[in-house]
Structure 1
Amino acid sequence: MKAEAKFIEVDIQSLQLDDINPRLPERLKGATDKEVLNWMLSDATLIDLMASISENGFFSGEPIIVISNNDNYTVIEGNRRLAAIKLLANPGLAIISPKAVEYLSIEAKEKRNIPKKIWVYLVKERNEVENYLAFRHVTGVKQWHVISKARYLNYLYQQKPNKTESIYKALAKEIGSKAPYVRRLLIGYKAFEIIQSRKYFNIPDLDEESFDISLITDAITMHSAIAEFMGIDMESEAPFENINLAKLKEVTEWLYQKLSNGKTRVGENRNLRVLNKVIQNNSARDLFISGEKNLKEAAELTDLADENIRMYLTRSLQNILEAQKIVHRSTSPDKNDKKVADEIIDSADIISRYISKKIREREIF
């Protein structure tokens, strides 16, 4: 008979941090509590949590969830709270920010705000709360960083027997999300796993903790030409089946390898749209790949300028029409307003004449 989940009061010393916590980088899987604690201390918000406990005591309104581990218990929800208590109780564990931890520990002990026992919610198996954790941390109020979300979704995905398109809908339903979002995160995580398995293609200073997974995820899932360039088929149930690792390496370098100016060849996420256009144009793509032109220069060889002009003209027209609707309400216009309106007319005339010229040239040929 399956044991029921229940609340129990346990000694803090019998609680262990979860070394397969989705938030932990791969290098810390199987690490000691001390190693995990100091990794957590690299996030300044843990100090903030410790300060709150030191000042106000431990808030038990949100239960810490545990599973039995021989004579101890492993925390599967609430690791940050447990880490804060452990460090307050034993500040000597802190290698990172030792002075701050020591100060908060002294303060907490003076106020008697370090609990020796706490109430926890004991479950028999992890899978009893998997969907709850996903709902809370992937789509809910306590969201993890993107790479942690993706890792946990991948863990849930691997538990499913049939890896078909319907699995995204099933996972989405279980965690209160939408299938496209789930598929997007899983595809991004698969790309990350491949890059990680190749040791980040030896890109200097790139590791899991500095890796912005949203860049490669957006590149693949939102920009079809970039995905096709790498041999990733987004229409397939197995998108990575025919991936070109050499081209994945190129794209990874464009996205993550820092130049002498501290920036990458692509730069910000919004420039992925430009890269997508460059890849679609053979001449622009070849010149960008060879390094003869940077992304902005290569983009000038594409029709991106036409797209931008259309976008700017549409926005300008919308703004002008809004101004036209209320111009009759103006009570104190000045000469500068008239000047701006005249400059708009002049600029519009220049643009109109240039576009007319290009249209005529195209019709002749």
Structure 2
Amino acid sequence: MAWWDQYFSAGQRGKVPPEKLEFDISNPRFTPDKQPSNSTDAAIIAYLDRTADLGELIQSIASSGYIDIEPLIVIPRDGDLIVLEGNRRLAALKSLLNPALASEAGIPLPEISPTVRKTLERITAYKVEHQDEARNLIGFKHINGPQGWDAYAKALYAARWLDDETAKGDSGLSLNEIAARMGDKHDTLYRIVSAAYVLQQAQDLELFRVEDRVKKNFSFSHLYTALTYTEFRDFVGLPRADRSANPERNPIAQEFYQNLRTLLLWLFGSKSDRIDPVIKTQNPDLSLLKRVLGHAVARKVMLERHDLAAALSLTIEGSDRFSKALVDAQASLHQAVGEITNADNDEETIEIADDVRRRATFIYNTLVAQRPDGN
């Protein structure tokens, strides 16, 4: 007899003391770019306080008591009762019941009355024996429901679900069927799961690590958006997406491993290698990089120099390049005229101004001479 049987004597639903429950360290909220510092209760509570508005929930419960309407979903695992759904609520309850734990997590607690404390002592939990039993509810709630995860968390959750279903063989659900159960569009789920598989392969091969990215926030949308375009897919050797089938695990062939690493560095950079991403903002930079990858000469320059502006200039026709350079020069001269009172009147500055004058005169005379009437 397991220790938790006393709380579930009437079936799968029972009232359990929160301190008896454990956090799910594989919670989809804990994506590789967003992890608690360790697996202790204090670290998990501190993380949820930073990322999931835990303080607001604590204040609400302290004011009105715990409203025990929606059960936590729990599963027996290695002698513990793990909370699959409701980790944020569990964090609030454990904090209010254990001020020392809250203090360790750095969370200030409001005073609670004996009446409120009474509502925290036992809470409703629904026990499942297999994670499959809980997936439909959890998936809908956090994919399209009221407490949505970010795209990366959604992708990892759906990818793990699909992996488990694939392992069942012909009896397993397809991604299309998983999307229906989650209340999500199949095309959207296909895009993010496909990108998650590509990213996981890169990490498994040690080509890239999410935690090594340059920016604090992980812009997963850069990757799943890029992989919808032929230019990016060709660059990493991905065939055209077949949404009638499940996306493949490890879809990148060995001869494209270096290109995959390069693409991820362009998108996210590398702190350890001191490489900045070339995608500063998804719009317009992703479209500009797409344009470069579709141009053979520009792509070569991009690979050699890691310079989007330099590579992009090669995709512009000659007359367009000239017009752009002339407009840019005009804008710079307008700025220089506005700052003329701040100029250093030394020989070097005068030499630069003279060079500008001679080049401007050459451009003007050449353009005039090329006109049919010569005027």
TM over 0.5: yes
Gaps of 5+ in 2: 1-8, 320-375
1:266–1:207 Cα change, 3 Å? closer
More divergent stretch after superposition (149-158 vs 266-275): 266-275
Shift of 1:181: 1.5
The DSSP-based 3-state class of the residue aligned with 2:112 is helix
Gaps of 5+ in 1: 307-365
Of the three residues 273, 293, 318, the one matched with 1:279 is 293
Larger radius of gyration: 2
1:40–1:284 Cα change, 3 Å? same
Root-mean-square deviation (CA), in Å?
3.7
1:200–1:70 Cα change, 3 Å? closer
Distance 2:84 2:233 in 1: 36
Shift of 1:144: 0.9
Partner amino acid, structure 1, of 2:259: K
Aligned position for 1:150? 155
Aligned position for 1:190? 197
Aligned position for 1:58? 66
- Give 1:153-172 correspondences, 5 Å limit: 153-161=158-166, 162=169, 167-172=174-179
The DSSP-based 3-state class of the residue aligned with 2:202 is helix
Matched, 1:90 2:90: no
Matched, 1:254 2:262: no
Aligned position for 1:34? 42
Partner amino acid, structure 2, of 1:254: W
CA contact (8 A) 1:188 1:217 kept: yes
Deviations 1:189-243 (A, max 9, x none): 11221233245636884399843222111111x2210121111223466481425
Deviations 1:102-160 (A, max 9, x none): 3x2x4235774461111222233221121121111112222112111111101110122
TM-score (norm 2): 0.68
Distance 1:257 1:58 in 2: 45
Aligned residues: 297
- Give 1:212-291 correspondences, 5 Å limit: 212-220=219-227, 222-235=228-241, 238=248, 240-242=251-253, 244-257=256-269, 264-270=277-283, 271-291=285-305
1:262–1:5 Cα change, 3 Å? farther
Aligned position for 2:188? 181
Distance 2:14 2:137 in 1: 20
Partner amino acid, structure 1, of 2:90: L
1:58–1:204 Cα change, 3 Å? closer
1:175–1:208 Cα change, 3 Å? farther
1:303–1:91 Cα change, 3 Å? farther
The DSSP-based 3-state class of the residue aligned with 1:107 is coil
Distance 1:30 1:204 in 2: 15
1:261–1:129 Cα change, 3 Å? closer
Partner amino acid, structure 1, of 2:258: A
Partner amino acid, structure 1, of 2:305: G
1:204–1:143 Cα change, 3 Å? closer
TM-score (norm 1): 0.70
The DSSP-based 3-state class of the residue aligned with 1:74 is strand
Shift of 1:38: 2.6
CA contact (8 A) 2:214 2:268 kept: no
1:212–1:32 Cα change, 3 Å? same
More divergent stretch after superposition (66-75 vs 16-25): 66-75
Shift of 1:45: 0.8
Deviations 1:268-318 (A, max 9, x none): 1122111111011012112222227x3234323326999xxxxxxxxxxxx
Shift of 1:250: 0.8
- Give 1:116-135 correspondences, 5 Å limit: 116-135=121-140
Aligned position for 1:301? 314
Aligned position for 2:208? 201
Distance 1:253 1:241 in 2: 16
The DSSP-based 3-state class of the residue aligned with 1:59 is coil
Matched, 1:22 2:28: yes
Distance 2:211 2:12 in 1: 49
Partner amino acid, structure 1, of 2:251: F
Distance 1:29 1:159 in 2: 28
CA contact (8 A) 1:58 1:115 kept: yes
Shift of 1:71: 7.0
Distance 1:122 1:304 in 2: 66
CA contact (8 A) 2:232 2:290 kept: yes
More divergent stretch after superposition (48-57 vs 66-75): 66-75
- Give 1:306-317 correspondences, 5 Å limit: none
